[in-house]
Structure 1
Amino acid sequence: MKTIGIWMDKEKAHIITTNEKGEDMITIFSEIENYRIHGGSGTRLKGGPQDVVQDSKFLEREKHQFKAYFDKIIPAINDADKIVIFGPAEAGEKFQKKLLNNHQEINKKV
């Protein structure tokens, strides 16, 4: 039986595989950019006009970067019998959602 544990965050995923022969670990790095939205300005007057920072383009870019990151992980876990996903932040939840929507055979093993 091949069991895989995935510890993941936005920067990297450690994939630990255990089977009858022993254990193996690989690390897959993401290319998700850490960025902080800058800009926006206003006036000194309360309730005055404000410049709005459009963060939709940043969020869209991050969404595509997550997709590419997850697409690198999926081939490494494709032949598992059981999968456990853990780690901080929301990357694990997003990954499981992708499995649920696009890779139901793998999702059944989680």
Structure 2
Amino acid sequence: MTVTEKGENIKEIISEVEKQPRRSGDSPLKGAYESHQVPADDSLQRIFTGQLNIYYDAVIAYIRDAESILIFGPGEAKDELKKRLEENNLGRRVVGIETVDKMTDHQITAKIRQHYVELR
């Protein structure tokens, strides 16, 4: 979400990251299941890391010009985003990191407003 003098704007950046990349090949329950049909774990990890890099790059591109950045969400991605912001010399703009459950757009808006009211 961006907040400017003109108002608020929520932009959803969809991740193409699969938490557990699917393995190709037949299921052992359905018949043939040869090892060459199953990608190696390091191959799956490279795919996962590549997808994450694309996602974080898109997020950082969107918030690059922000004066301050509040990061919140349910998982570990918050810390990874902060780390990547620091790598891009944007870490000083992070004003907070909070763990919260999944939120609606209305809840996100209210949380951001509340945070910046508390800063004043």
TM-score range, shorter chain: 0.5 to 0.7
Gap regions ≥5 residues in structure 1: 1-15, 39-50
Where do residues 60-79 of structure 1 align in structure 2 (5 Å cutoff)? 60-79=46-65
**For each residue in 1:31-64, what CA deviation from the matched residue of structure 2 results, as whole angstroms up to 9, or x when unmatched?**
11243679xxxxxxxxxxxx9x942222221111
**Which residues in structure 2 correspond to 1:52-63 (within 5 Å)?**
54-63=40-49
Paired positions, count: 82
Compare the two structures and name the one with the higher helix fraction.
2
Which consecutive unaligned segments of at least 5 residues does structure 2 have?
25-34, 95-120
1:27 to 2, 12, 16: 12
Aligned-residue RMSD, C-alpha: 2.4
Q: Which aligned runs of 4 or more in structure 1 are off by greater than 6 angstroms?
A: none
Instruction: Tell me which residue corresponds to 2:112.
Output: none
Identity %: 35
Aligned to 1:108: 92
User: Does residue 1:88 correspond to 2:70, yes or no?
Assistant: no
Q: Which amino acid aligns with 2:5?
A: E
TM normalised by structure 1 equals 0.63
Q: Which AA in structure 2 matches 1:107?
A: G
Higher relative contact order (CA 8 A, sep 6+): 1
TM-score, structure 2 as length reference = 0.58
